[in-house]
Amino acid sequence: MIKDSYDVIVAGGGPGGSSVAKHLAKLGHSVLMLEKRQEIGAPKRCGEGLSVNTAGIIGKIPPWCIAQKINAAKVYSPDRSYVLMDFGGDSKGYVVERKALDKWLAFEASRAGARVMAKSEVTGVLKDGNSVTGVRATILGGGEVEIRSKVLVAADGVESTVARKAGLNTANKLVNLDSGFQYEMSSLNMEDDKKIILYFGNEIAPRGYIWIFPKGHDVANVGIGTAMAEKPPKHYLDAFIEDNPDIFGSASIIEVNSGGIPVGGFLDNMVLDGFAVVGDAAHQVNPIHGGGLKEATIAGEIAAKVISKCIKNGDVSKRALSEYNRIWWSQRGKKLRMVEKLRHVTEKLTDDDLNMLVKELTGDILSELTRGNKFSALAKVLMKKPKLIVLARHLL
């Protein structure tokens, strides 16, 4: 079932891996995508919220991958005032079922011609001098085999070790990683099952937020992301649930999820001779909301086009593959670095500052901010407090 060599081997079967694999297969290349877990998409490490814009980038998502359609996000400040980010329609946002979506993305890669193998893990990287020439892998839990590649793509997620084994140091700094924890809960008493709810406050979620993403009338992902907090995020989420019996009084826990969320530390270089890295493994995540699906999908397509061109030209050197660096940085990196700057500002805000912002900012401006736009509007509000002027200047 597995050949001795492929044009491209993809380590990891998440959205980034499937995107690379699908596009390369469509361009006529032989592709092998290996996923170490026995089930693609599980366990999920995601709040599962998507904008319609992200959904459009991913493709024509089948209805069986969508749990709930969402019309707005309600953002609460610590004093429980809120601002509404209206999506402008009843199906402008989705809460998806990642286990289904990731599988569908793998189906699509497979249908395009890629060979996909679950429970098959890259255990080592083969090198000839500085060039990556393939992998050692266990296929379906069997013994280790060697498989050759012209290009190896590491799409092995936040816990990536393949890039480091290949010789590219992708270890992230602690300051660039949020700690995430989530329950999927049922029998919730939600205020509105068509809205995602975000709660900000340094006491309830230090340097982060708590979210409720509805997956049905009484089912939701209830999660938290925190940074550099005194206690693990689970501690804060459990306290929030305890403090809000009106919502959680009769709730059950159906699933427990956790994960590290890269929120910065973008890589100037993402390639080696015969090698590239995409997705969470390359820290390609929006630093303000921690969403990585869109970024992994886009980066996967960019990487695939460059890799295909390099293979066709017979030059998969680091120099040739670095076109992926250039295109990614101009299309996504520059924007994401702006969003990273915004994050550094928001992390320094006190609960009083957050209360003020929620009163002064409109939902539309908040939406633009998360996309890296309208920073001047935020700066204008921050200028109202003398001690925030320094922060405001970072945005201009």
Partner 1 sequence: MVWKIDRGVCLRCGACVSVCPVLALELQESGVAHDAGKCTLCTACEKICPVGSIRVEK
The end-to-end CA distance of the chain, in Å, is 56
- Contact status: 26 vs partner 1 (CB under 8 A): no
Strand 220-226 vs strand 177-186: parallel, antiparallel, or unpaired?
antiparallel
Query: Which residue's CB is nearer to partner 1, number 109 or number 122?
Result: 122
How far is 277 from 283, CA to CA, in rounded Å? 10
Question: Closest distance between partner 1 and the C-beta of residue 292, in Å?
Answer: 13
- Output phi, psi for 348, to 5 deg: -90, 0
Burial of 396: CB neighbours in 10 Å, binned 0-12, 13-18, 19+: exposed
Question: Closest distance between partner 1 and the C-beta of residue 189, in Å?
Answer: 26
The answer to whether 249 touches 189, Cβ cutoff 8 Å, is: yes
CB neighbour list of residue 105: distance below 8 Å, 6 or more residues apart: 15, 18, 19, 22, 58
Number of residues in contact with partner 1 under rule CB under 8 A: 31
Instruction: Supply 121's token pair.
Output: 């893990």
- Contact status: 121 vs partner 1 (CB under 8 A): yes
Q: Which of 71, 172, 202, 367 touches partner 1 (CB under 8 A)?
A: 172
What is the residue type of 215?
A: K
Question: Among 61-69, 154-162, 203-211, 239-247, which window interacts with partner 1 (CB under 8 A)?
Answer: 154-162
Of residues 175-194, those binding partner 1 (CB under 8 A): 177, 179-181
Question: Closest distance between partner 1 and the C-beta of residue 262, in Å?
Answer: 7
CB neighbour list of residue 76: distance below 8 Å, 6 or more residues apart: 82, 197, 198, 199, 200, 358
Question: Among 146-154, 168-176, 318-326, 358-366, which window interacts with partner 1 (CB under 8 A)?
Answer: 168-176
Question: Among 153-161, 190-198, 286-294, 306-314, which window interacts with partner 1 (CB under 8 A)?
Answer: 153-161
Question: Closest distance between partner 1 and the C-beta of residue 209, in Å?
Answer: 15
Interface mask toward partner 1 for 312-351; x: CB under 8 A: ----------------------------------------
Instruction: Supply 307's token pair.
Output: 């890799």
Residues in contact with partner 1 by the rule CB under 8 A = 36-37, 43, 45, 121, 157-161, 164, 171-174, 177, 179-181, 228, 231-235, 256-260, 262
